[in-house]
Amino acid sequence: VIRGEVQRVPCSPRHCPAGAGMLELPFLPFCALLGGLGAVCVAFVSAWCQRWRGGFAWDGSAQMFNWHPVLMVTGMVVLYGAAALVYRLPFSWSGPKFPWKVLHGTLALVAFGLAVLGLVAVFSFHNAQGTPNMYSLHSWLGLATVLLFSCQWLAGFVSFLLPWAPAWLRALYKPVHVFFGSTILTLAMVSCVSGINEKLFFSLKNGTTAYSQLPSEAVFANTLGLLILLFGVLVLWALARPDWKRPEPDSVDAHQVPAGASS
């Protein structure tokens, strides 16, 4: 065997996971591309609020509301997506798993903190302006997503980070955690896109160019929505690729033999 390569069991229907014939793509370049796309999403939502919505403040004005989309996109989509991909990093596949658990949980906690600040911004703005809270589908969906996120984080903390959690509990809860992780990201994307659409409907009227006339703000914000969807779909695609998953202890890939260790 050539030195530096890894000896693998030959691929067969029994050993090869479903989807092994998917497009071959190195994870790290894809991850860098995804990181750039996430940064573009944050830049777009910040530029939208600064250029067309009057900038930022924390005083109950419309400028305070502008923190809401920025914090939600940054936290619930970009940082949450980054947290979901921690275990796909190839250098997380060897050595202790605990530091990667801490990184995963910390990124998710920061994302949750930004989401809470985003909720504070929108509720404070509504209360200061006398606007009713929690009447739109967007508000229901968004709050449900954040509440589900909080339950997901707490359950993950208890099951995977506390040292006294039994192995059977971790094994039982892991597929549930994975499922709701993807579900929450999907709900976050839908919440953000519906919020962008709702804001445009409310803002582009009464003396401004109507939304139906597609002014430059509408084009920009619609593009932001598409970028958010693209980012989220790529994260979900990465999570679904079997060859990018961390090998389980009893899997074939977990028992790879370095080329120099065998004759």
Q: What is the mean pLDDT of residues 4-22?
A: 42
In a domain, 148, yes or no: yes
- Does residue 8 fall inside a structural domain? no
What is the DSSP secondary-structure string of 204-216? S-SSSPPGGG--H
pLDDT at 205: 87
- pLDDT tens readout for residues 115-165: 999 999 999 999 999 999 999 999 999 999 999 999 999 999 999 999 888
Round to whole Å and give the CA distance between 67 and 50.
10
| Selected residue with higher pLDDT from 3 and 66 | 66
Contact 230, 223 (CB under 8 A): no
Task: With respect to residue 11, please indicate whether it lies within any of the assigned structural domains.
Answer: no
- Other residues' Cβ atoms within 10 Å of the Cβ of residue 221: 24
124 found inside a domain = yes
Q: 3-class SS at 137?
A: helix
Task: Read off the pLDDT of residues 55-67 as tens digits, 9 standing for 90 and up.
Answer: 999 999 999 999 9
Let me know the angle formed at the C-alpha of 229 by 225 and 234, rounded to the nearest 5 degrees: 150
Tens of pLDDT, residues 29-81: 999 999 999 999 999 999 999 999 999 999 999 999 999 999 999 999 999 99
Residue 16 has pLDDT above 50, yes or no: no
Q: Facing residues of 6 across strands?
A: 258
> Kind of pairing, strands 6-7 and 257-258?
antiparallel
- For the chain, what is the domain count? 1
Q: 10 lies in a domain?
A: no
Beta bridge partners of 258: 6
Condensed to tens digits (0 to 9), the pLDDT of residues 98-114 reads 999 999 999 999 999 99
Specify the pLDDT at position 5.
Answer: 42
More confident residue, 4 or 145: 145
18 domain-assigned: no
Query: Between vectors from CA 120 to CA 83 and to CA 107, what angle results, nearest 5°?
Result: 10
Mean pLDDT (whole number) for 160-178? 93
Query: What pLDDT does residue 248 have?
Result: 75
pLDDT, one tens digit per residue, over 214-262 is 999 999 999 999 999 999 999 999 999 999 998 876 544 444 433 333 4
Q: Note whether residue 258 is domain-resident.
A: no
Q: d(Cα 201, Cα 203) in Å, to the nearest integer?
A: 6
Residue 259 located in a structural domain: no
Range of the domain at 149: 25-243
CATH number of the CATH domain containing 223: 1.20.120.1770
Q: What is the pTM of this model?
A: 0.85
Predicted confidence at residue 23, as pLDDT, reads: 57
Mean pLDDT, the chain, as a whole number?
88
Residue 191 CA to its chain's centroid (Å): 13
pLDDT score of 18 more than 90: no
Give residue for tokens 């923190």.
Answer: 67
